[in-house]
């Protein structure tokens, strides 16, 4: 089988799972409205906090009001994508390991990592993406003078790379369940830390900033793309970020296969 | 040529030892004590293409562990196993494409969707050409009599109906080797019988090799000419079902109906069957007489009970 054919097969497999996942979610149409209300409420609270902050000052850590609004838009957008595609799959890995149901994924003649990463899609979480895009658009309209197409291109590239690094981070968390069977609290920990991403990481003290950059790569997924679209971007972090993402891809896959080996060696 | 070859296959688990009490739990945080448990102990056998083999043994005997090693999910601690010429350990795609695993106590279909959609996912995973897929799918639907069920969400199906769906989904890629781990567990008698006759049909129609573990002797009696008995991880018997009962039956049951309508039941050691019978005939006015082996269920139970005492 040629490399192209293999890749085509993988894309088709992912597309099939996506289609079936969406059909699954379509049965619960009321969730669309519930999720939409939740997305709007979350963003609404964020906006109130921003308004309070900017009633006292004109900038926060070097970010103007519309720029911070853009960060909030990107934060909501990224959160939506993570909760739609990444989180449900990785949580299912954790559950499957605990309940011994991972066997069904491992016995299939497909790459196990690919398979466990595409099985679930929580389609209605995409309301966050819609709301996030709306907030981002409003922010960009306010910033119009500084918008250029290169910024948009850089934004999209950095956003994708940031999402990949979040995926890698989640994959490593999920792989940890091969050693520590109970990691239920991990999801809440992630959610809590993720909330810190609604502000640029630059406003946090140094230790937290590094943690949110290199341990949980939130800076890469939210702050850096926001810098790109608001025209604040320096090229240095871009290079660091792409290198970091590449390393994470390799490391997380290694960690995953170590976990699988352990599963084969020790599980009952 | 053998389709499955197993030689001196062993699997040892390291199980954490946990003592009771808070202090012991805290100590185990720092220093975890583990104990080795031998789940499968130097098991050897070969299986020819098209055979239906029953794995028998009480819970924890090592049946499932053996199946999992044969399907590449667990790695052997020592020994060899080969399935279709492949070593399962590295889960080679070529092997996985040709085997299937059905576990009676776990389901792999999408819970909220009709089984047809899950079948579609399997088609994508195994890359089954569409025409071939549809033909086999419809054949399986017919054989299992699930035509009106495949469009209902799986969550609305009964346990037995769900099992039929699981089986259909697991066979869409035309596997050559079927590992069925307790496929009839928890099902009512009628449903058990249907699943059994389907497996027999499937085996004769497609010539697939089947390894089946079950608690229900009836499953094994109906399907398997050959049984492998595993106890405490060791292979204790491998051969014909009829030989099994001969080997392990130490008793015979003699039932006699007398002229006055009374019934007498005698349990005698096998070797004394003849003398017991002649004594019975001499002493009583016998109208009818049967000499039977005890039911195979009792034989197995007796055997495991004895083996349990011995170890």
Domain borders along chain A are 3-266
**Chain A partners within 8 Å of B125 (Cβ):** 13, 108-110, 115
d(CA B31, CA B302): 42
What is the average per-residue pLDDT within A166-186?
A: 85
Contacts with A119 (C-beta within 8 Å, 6 or more apart), sequence order: A17, A21, A89, A92, A105
Contacts with A91 (C-beta within 8 Å, 6 or more apart), sequence order: A174, A187
- Tell me which of B300 and A3 has the higher pLDDT: B300
Structure tokens at B137: 């799918």
**Chain A partners within 8 Å of B94 (Cβ):** 109
User: Alpha carbon of B86 to those of A13, A199, B95, B166: distances in Å?
Assistant: 26, 54, 6, 26
CA of B95: which chain A residue's CA is closest? Answer: A109
Q: Which of A154-158, B166-170, B230-234 has the highest mean pLDDT?
A: B166-170
What ipTM score was computed for the predicted complex, to two decimals? 0.84
Q: Are A249 and A168 in contact (CB under 8 A)?
A: yes
What is the pLDDT confidence band of residue A268, given thresholds at 50, 70 and 90? Answer: very low
Percent of chain B with pLDDT strictly greater than 90: 53
Percent of chain A with pLDDT strictly greater than 70: 94
What is the average per-residue pLDDT within A155-165?
A: 93
Residue-wise pLDDT tens digits, B20-54: 777 777 777 777 778 888 999 999 999 999 999 99
> In the A/B pair of chains, how many CB contacts fall below 8 A?
74
**Chain A partners within 8 Å of B121 (Cβ):** 16-17, 20
What is the average per-residue pLDDT within B116-122?
A: 94
Q: Are B109 and B162 in contact (CB under 8 A)?
A: yes
- Closest CB to A104: pick one of B68, B99, B108: B108
What is the average per-residue pLDDT within A220-237?
A: 85
pLDDT of residue A28: 83
Crossing angle between the packed helical segments B115-126 and B159-171, to the nearest 10 degrees: 20
User: Is the pLDDT reported for residue A257 higher than 80?
Assistant: yes
Structurally, at CATH architecture level, domain B4-246 sits in 3-Layer(aba) Sandwich (3.40)
What is the average per-residue pLDDT within B81-100?
A: 95
- Closest CB to B101: pick one of A20, A100, A107: A107
Q: Give which of B119, B121, B176 to mutate to test A binding, by max A Cβ within 10 Å.
A: B121
- Judged by CB atoms closer than 8 Å, whether chains meet at B65 and A109 is answered as no
CA of B99: which chain A residue's CA is closest? Answer: A107
- Judged by CB atoms closer than 8 Å, whether chains meet at A20 and B121 is answered as yes
Residue-wise pLDDT tens digits, A53-108: 888 888 888 888 889 999 999 999 999 999 999 999 999 999 888 888 899 999 99
Domain extents in chain B:
4-246, 249-310
What is the pLDDT confidence band of residue A31, given thresholds at 50, 70 and 90? Answer: confident
pLDDT of residue B46: 97
Place of tokens 């050693």: A179
What is the average per-residue pLDDT within A242-254?
A: 95
- Judged by CB atoms closer than 8 Å, whether chains meet at A268 and B126 is answered as no
Place of tokens 């089988």: A1
């Amino acid at each position: 089988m040629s490399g192209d054919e293999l890749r085509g097969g993988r894309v088709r497999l992912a597309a099939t799972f996506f289609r079936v996942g969406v059909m699954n979610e379509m049965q619960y149409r009321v969730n669309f409205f519930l999720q939409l209300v939740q997305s709007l409420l979350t963003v609404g609270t964020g906006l109130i906090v921003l308004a309070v902050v900017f009633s006292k000052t004109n900038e926060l850590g070097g970010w103007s009001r519309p720029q911070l609004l853009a960060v909030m838009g990107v934060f909501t957008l990224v959160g939506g994508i993570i909760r739609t595609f990444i989180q449900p799959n990785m949580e299912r890995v954790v559950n499957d390991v605990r309940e011994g149901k991972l066997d069904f994924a491992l016995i299939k003649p497909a790459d196990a990592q690919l398979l466990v990463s595409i099985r679930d899609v929580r389609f209605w979480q995409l309301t966050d993406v819609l709301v996030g895009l709306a907030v981002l658009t409003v922010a960009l309209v306010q910033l119009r003078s500084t918008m250029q197409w290169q910024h948009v291109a850089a934004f999209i590239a950095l956003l994708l790379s940031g999402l990949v690094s979040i995926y890698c981070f989640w994959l490593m968390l999920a792989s940890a369940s091969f050693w520590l069977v109970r990691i239920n609290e991990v999801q809440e920990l992630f959610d809590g830390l993720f909330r810190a991403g609604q502000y640029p990481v630059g406003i946090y003290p140094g230790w937290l900033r590094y943690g949110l950059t290199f341990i949980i790569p939130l800076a890469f997924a939210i702050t850096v793309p926001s810098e790109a679209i608001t025209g604040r971007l320096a090229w240095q972090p871009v290079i660091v970020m792409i290198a970091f993402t590449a390393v994470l891809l390799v490391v997380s896959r290694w960690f995953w296969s170590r976990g699988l080996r352990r599963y084969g060696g020790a599980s009952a | 040529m053998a389709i499955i070859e197993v030689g001196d296959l062993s699997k040892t688990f390291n199980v954490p030892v946990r003592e009771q009490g808070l202090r012991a739990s805290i100590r185990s945080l720092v220093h975890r004590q583990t104990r080795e448990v031998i789940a499968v102990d130097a098991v050897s056998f070969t299986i020819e293409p098209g055979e239906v083999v029953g794995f028998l043994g009480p819970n924890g005997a090592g049946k499932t562990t053996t199946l999992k090693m044969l399907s590449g999910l667990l790695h052997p601690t020592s020994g060899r196993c080969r399935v279709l010429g492949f070593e399962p350990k590295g889960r080679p795609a070529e092997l996985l494409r040709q085997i299937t695993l059905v576990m009676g106590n776990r389901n792999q279909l999408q819970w909220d969707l009709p089984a047809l959609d899950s079948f579609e996912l399997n088609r994508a995973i195994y890359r089954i050409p569409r025409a071939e897929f549809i033909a086999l799918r419809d054949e399986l639907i017919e054989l299992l009599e699930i035509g009106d069920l495949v469009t209902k969400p799986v969550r609305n199906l009964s346990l037995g109906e769900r099992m039929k769906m699981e089986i259909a989904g697991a066979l869409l890629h035309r596997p050559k080797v079927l590992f069925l781990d307790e496929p009839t567990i928890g099902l009512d008698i009628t449903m058990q019988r249907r699943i059994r006759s389907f497996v027999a049909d499937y085996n004769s129609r497609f010539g697939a090799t089947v390894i089946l573990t079950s608690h229900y002797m009836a499953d094994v009696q109906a399907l398997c000419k050959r049984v492998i008995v595993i106890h405490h991880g060791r292979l204790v018997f491998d051969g014909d079902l009829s030989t099994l009962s001969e080997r392990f039956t130490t008793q015979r049951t003699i039932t006699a109906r007398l002229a006055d309508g009374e019934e007498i039941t005698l349990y005698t050691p096998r070797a004394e069957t003849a003398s017991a019978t002649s004594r019975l005939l001499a002493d009583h006015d016998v109208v009818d007489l049967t000499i039977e082996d005890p039911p195979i269920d009792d034989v197995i139970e007796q055997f495991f009970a004895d083996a349990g005492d011995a170890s």
